[in-house]
Structure 1
């Protein structure tokens, strides 16, 4: 009887990346359950984004943003690893249930949580080497997330990939900038200039990707990342550090500028984000075989259900227009 109940009702869910496409419909309670869990995780990411866009960001807000993104990553991981495999039918490609999409969500949440950590480290004026290491790891997370979508339909995932690519390139620039600044403090001025020049080049590539993101069609907001205060303030800071390094090398050190930047062999030991573990609760002991047996689904009801599917015209699901979150101040991070 439990199996009959599991497949008796039809469940309908729209998918995050399916712009202009009909919702997915399955007569599988597990399908409903997994979609519900993933949407709770998505809510945590949206709540974090809303908090990050406040005009005044307090320490409590930053902690909640960080916590929400870690919780979201943990929920995505649980449903990917332990629940999606129980579906009656394989997940549709590029849907929220697609394992590659779920893995991308996990990495993206980890990377965005580390953005909060980096902003905090900069605010507290931690060592350049620590900030560079964190930014480098964050860049790698965005890169890995992007690679998870390599084989997917680019018409569907193309805009999301542009976001991941611009973030990967931005934090590469960020890492090189702080690494170069640290090298100047260590009186390795030639290496410092090289790193900062490479940082500037990576930033220019980020600028190009930002403009491509705006013009790319697909699921995503209409924000203009390169116009954010955080983005522009970093650009000014980078130019200032590059100018200082070049000036000191010209007047004091006279070091040869190498053709290639030194290997950024920094390993972040603090601030790296791991998903907050989440486990789906066990089935309540109240659901016994006797309880399931109490649900009597006759053949007539089953036949009725089949005939309704053929004759009833289902109304369209109206998409809810999600307003773009406007960033009104430099809060040190940009959460999608």
Structure 2
């Protein structure tokens, strides 16, 4: 056997693993890096041995040892802290890629293990049965590694180790060469030609898959693809040659001729250096078969031959058992607390906070809220909010602005009135001057009527606006401005029940703050670390359940508070019932509680302010519309007056000329 391909190992840049791991430990662990210096050195050495391995079983072991260490590092450290740079070696132009990912590094090492298996298979390649068996196994192991990379790199958040099409092509190539080893052993053992044909047909199929994927991929060179095509053509020739021999045994001489012709056609497509000897064999066999069939057997040569069912004897090796597990190497960083444990601590702290919130602080808050809502004199209703002095001044300014708008519109309407009156006076004087028979323009009293009507309407509107502005201003002056601009501060109640409830709510609020503070100080971290160091497992749930018993006293306090709430609300209801007489009517009682007086006064002043704000909003819109209407009307009147002036001048000059 010859002309098999080995996959070149990827190359990498050296990483100062010792420094990078030291930084990482110092940043993410309770311990310092100096405590783990021996383990750090072992990791750095393992990588240095793995990046330039000899093509040997020892080199394979170096790769696997580093892979096992990476499994440990994945459990101990974050994935994205150290940068690894690797260079592709399949394509004619090598290009590098750097990624911050332990997973990417691990899959790249698996890829290189696959490459190493392919190279070891070439080294083991000889005609002996034992070496064929070993080569076949190595090629299947290589296929298993490439397939594993293909199946798992989709989960990477970084660039792929190798594009999917190339990974598929390499997997098929390894299987083709493994099948080739099996086929060669079958030839040596002189198995039936029909079986050997099925074995070689499977080789053809594997090479066909590899060719298809290599043409889609980004890395496999054209000379490799051409080599795969040559191998496919060669083994197609082998398949039909073995079919021909099988047909000869069955005395199907016409089919034998067709099979040999087809074999020769495929062989002519192959460019392998080993073709010459095989071609001589086929040509000799074809010549003899054609002569015998033409002169002796006289069988018809078919146009097509039956399809050959391939026989696959190889498959990608399972990664389980092929690669070491995390337990197959010396355990490193035994005393290091991994990030996973810290994540557990964070998660349990969040669960503890939620537990305290849901079981203690929220129930106490809800009970206090329920108590407050039952007491009308306890606190200011939420809808009551004071305003700033600046906001109050803005309302005063808005009132002043309404007055300015009103005055401006009044002035504009007076101007319009003056224009219309002047136009009527002018028309009357000219009519007296020339006489009604000669002064033929329409009288102002007729043509001006629509303008006076619109003018009067606008004056009505402005008078209405003035009246509303006056009411709004008077309403604004009645507001207790000091009350609504001062911070809300309820006076002390003189009601014993109210004061008692205030004290209870204050105690609950203090208990809530105290519980939050105690919870923030009482964390599970030390218990988890202690448990992890003893067992090495991450089943911390029983520890957490026991940890929460610390808050049992708080839970009892919440339960007692519920009972207290029911009693206080019952007292409130009884007090409210005492305010009504036997017929259900409310008893006439003077308001003596300062809180009730304060709230009522604040409600009243804020209610007046709401009315003022509504009037201001409506007034602003009113004057905007009225200003637009007045401006439009003013333009109409000016245009009318200008037109009438021109008409009067023309008629006046005409009558004077005729009089002369």
Q: Encode CA deviations 1:195-232: one digit per residue, 9 max, x unaligned.
A: 110110110011xxx2xxxxxxxxxxxxxxx323xx43
Aligned partner of 2:90 among 9, 13, 17? 17
Q: Partner of 1:193 in structure 2? A: 257
Q: Determine whether 1:203 maps to 2:267.
A: yes
Q: Partner of 1:102 in structure 2? A: 167
Q: Determine whether 1:113 maps to 2:184.
A: no
Aligned partner of 1:277 among 297, 318, 336? 318
Q: Encode CA deviations 1:59-82: one digit per residue, 9 max, x unaligned.
A: 22111111111111112222221x
Distance 1:4 1:65, change over 3 A: closer
2 CA distance for matches of 1:290 and 1:172? 59
2 CA distance for matches of 1:203 and 1:117? 21
The structure that has the greater radius of gyration is 2
Distance 1:133 1:156, change over 3 A: closer
Contact kept, 8 Å, 2:117 with 2:142, in 1: the verdict is: yes
1 CA distance for matches of 2:338 and 2:246? 66
Counterpart secondary structure, 1:275: coil
Q: Partner of 1:77 in structure 2? A: 147
Q: CA RMSD in A?
A: 2.8
Counterpart secondary structure, 1:238: helix
Q: Partner of 1:178 in structure 2? A: 242
* Bigger proportion of residues as helix: 2
Q: Encode CA deviations 1:158-211: one digit per residue, 9 max, x unaligned.
A: 2222122111111111101111121122111111101110110110011xxx2x
Aligned partner of 1:63 among 133, 140, 144? 133
2 CA distance for matches of 1:40 and 1:286? 22
Q: Partner of 2:206 in structure 1? A: 141
Q: Determine whether 1:30 maps to 2:107.
A: no
Q: Encode CA deviations 1:90-118: one digit per residue, 9 max, x unaligned.
A: 42xxxx52121111111111110111111
Contact kept, 8 Å, 1:136 with 1:171, in 2: the verdict is: yes
Q: Partner of 1:234 in structure 2? A: 278
Q: Partner of 1:291 in structure 2? A: 337
Considering Cα pairs closer than 8 Å and 6+ residues apart, tell me whether 1 or 2 has the greater RCO. 1
| Deviation, structure 1 residue 282 | 5.2
2 CA distance for matches of 1:202 and 1:109? 22
2 CA distance for matches of 1:72 and 1:181? 34
Counterpart secondary structure, 1:142: helix
Unaligned runs of 5+ in 1: 211-225, 297-336
Q: Provide the aligned length of Structure 1 versus Structure 2.
A: 264
Aligned partner of 2:307 among 264, 267, 272? 264
Counterpart secondary structure, 2:338: helix
2 CA distance for matches of 1:40 and 1:34? 10
Unaligned runs of 5+ in 2: 1-27, 29-73, 343-660
2 CA distance for matches of 1:152 and 1:103? 9
2 CA distance for matches of 1:195 and 1:264? 12
1 CA distance for matches of 2:339 and 2:220? 44
Scaled by the length of structure 2, what TM-score is found? 0.37
- After superposing the two structures, state which structure 1 stretch, 183-192 or 236-245, moved more: 236-245
Scaled by the length of structure 1, what TM-score is found? 0.71
1 CA distance for matches of 2:308 and 2:110? 39
Counterpart secondary structure, 1:21: coil
| Deviation, structure 1 residue 265 | 3.5
Q: Partner of 2:427 in structure 1? A: none
Q: Partner of 2:348 in structure 1? A: none
Counterpart secondary structure, 2:216: coil
Counterpart secondary structure, 2:85: strand
2 CA distance for matches of 1:43 and 1:59? 21
Distance 1:66 1:152, change over 3 A: closer
Q: Encode CA deviations 1:12-35: one digit per residue, 9 max, x unaligned.
A: 111122333332211111111111
Contact kept, 8 Å, 1:173 with 1:200, in 2: the verdict is: yes
